[in-house]
Amino acid sequence: MDISSIGFKDIFLYSVLALFIFWVLLKFNMIGARRGTKKSSKQRDKETTRQRNRRRTIWFMKQFESLYNFIGYTTKEYEFELKYRLERCDIKVRSLERPLKVSELIGIFRFIQILTVLITITVVSLTLSPVGLLILVGIFIPKLYSGLLKLKILSEDEELEDNFPDLYLLLYSRLRKGAHTRIEPTIQDYLNSLDDMYGTGVGHIPIRKFCSRFIANVEIYGDESMAIKRMREHYRSPTMINFCNLAIQSLSGVDNSDKLLTFKQELAEDRRVKMDKRAAALVEKGNKVIFIIYVILFQFIILSWVSKVDLSMFNAILG
C-alpha cells in the first residue's frame, strides 16, 4: 500500500514538472517557434502600417499648413475663437496623437474651397450647367464646421450645468475654508465615484472632461488657483465663470462665504426650475399619449359596433 502510494506521488510530481517545463518553453517561444514568429510578424506589419500612416498624415498636415501660410486671409479674432472651439471639443489628429492646429484646419478649409471652385469651373465648362451653388457650399464650409463646434460646446455646457450642482455641493465646504484647503482631491473623488456608478468613461462626459481638465491643469501648473484660471479660459458659460471667480477668490484667501452660499442657492433654484420644466414636459407628453389611447379606444368601439350591426336590412332598403 505504501509503495503504490509513493509511486503515484512520483508520477504526479513528474507530470506537474513536465507541464511546467512545457509551459516555460512555450512562453519564451523555445518551442512552437513558428507560432511565435507568426505573431511577431503580425506585430511588425502592424507597426509598419502605423508608421506609414503617421508619415503620410504628417506630410498632409504640412501641406495644409503651407496652404494656410500662403492664402490664410483670416483675422486673429477668428483664429482665437476657432482655437478655443477646437480645444473645447478635443479635436485631435488620431494617427499623430496630438490636437489639430488652427493653421492646419484653416489649410484644410482652403483646400476644400479651391477644390470646389475647380470642380465647379470644370463642370460648367463641360456641361454648361449652372452649378454655382456648389461654390457657395465650399465657401461656407468653414462657417458650417465652426457652427457645428459651437453647437457641440453649447450642448456640453448645458449638460455640464445640469450635473455641476452635485460637484459644487462637495466643493462648497472646502472652498469656505479659504486658502488653507485643496479642492483637487475632492474633484478626483467625485470623478472616481462616477466611474464606480456608471463605469469608466460611461455617461456624464462633460462633467468628466471638466474634472479631468482641472486635474491635468493642477499637474501642469502645480497651483489650483492657476489651474482654475486656465479652466475659465475653456468654459465661458455664466455659471462656470461665476464658479471660477468665486473659487479663485476663496483659494486666494478672500472671505467670500456669503457669495459661495448665494451661488449654492442659485444652483439649487436653477435645478428646481429645470426639474419643474421637465416634469411639465413629461406631463404634457403623458396627456398626449392618453389622448391618443382614447382615440384608438374610440375607433375600436366604433369598429366593434359596426361589425355587430346586421347590414342586410340596409341592403334591402337600398335594393
Over residues 94-142, the pLDDT tens digits come to: 888 888 899 999 898 888 888 888 877 777 777 666 666 666 677 788 8
CB 95 within 8 A of CB 102: no
pLDDT for 138 = 72
pLDDT for 210 = 92
The Cα 121–Cα 126 span in angstroms is 9
Is 36 or 252 the better-scoring residue by pLDDT? 252
* Nearest C-alpha neighbor of 93 from the set 82, 84, 80, 102: 102
CA distances (Å), 86 to each of 90, 150, 155, in order?
A: 6, 10, 15
pLDDT exceeds 90 at position 72:
no
Q: Which grid coordinates are listed for 154?
A: 453649447
pLDDT for 245 = 93
Q: What is the mean pLDDT of residues 164-180?
A: 88
pLDDT exceeds 60 at position 302:
yes
Q: What is the mean pLDDT of residues 53-57?
A: 88
pLDDT exceeds 70 at position 152:
yes
Q: What value does the mean pLDDT of the chain take?
A: 80
pLDDT for 262 = 92
pLDDT for 25 = 67
Is 279 or 313 the better-scoring residue by pLDDT? 279
Q: Tell me the pLDDT band of 215, cut-offs 50, 70 and 90.
A: very high
Q: What is the mean pLDDT of residues 39-62?
A: 81
Rg for the chain (alpha carbons), in Å? Answer: 34
pLDDT exceeds 70 at position 310:
no
Q: What is the mean pLDDT of residues 250-262?
A: 89
pLDDT for 1 = 44
* Nearest C-alpha neighbor of 58 from the set 50, 70, 48, 47: 50
pLDDT exceeds 60 at position 148:
yes
pLDDT exceeds 50 at position 156:
yes
Q: What is the mean pLDDT of residues 219-233?
A: 90
Q: Which of 40-49, 60-69, 265-274 has the least mean pLDDT?
A: 40-49
pLDDT for 135 = 66
Percent of the chain with pLDDT over 70: 80
Q: What is the mean pLDDT of residues 259-269?
A: 90
Burial class (CB in 10 A: 0-12, 13-18, 19+), 109: buried
Tracing cell 499623430 back to the chain, one arrives at 96
* Nearest C-alpha neighbor of 218 from the set 231, 207, 209: 231
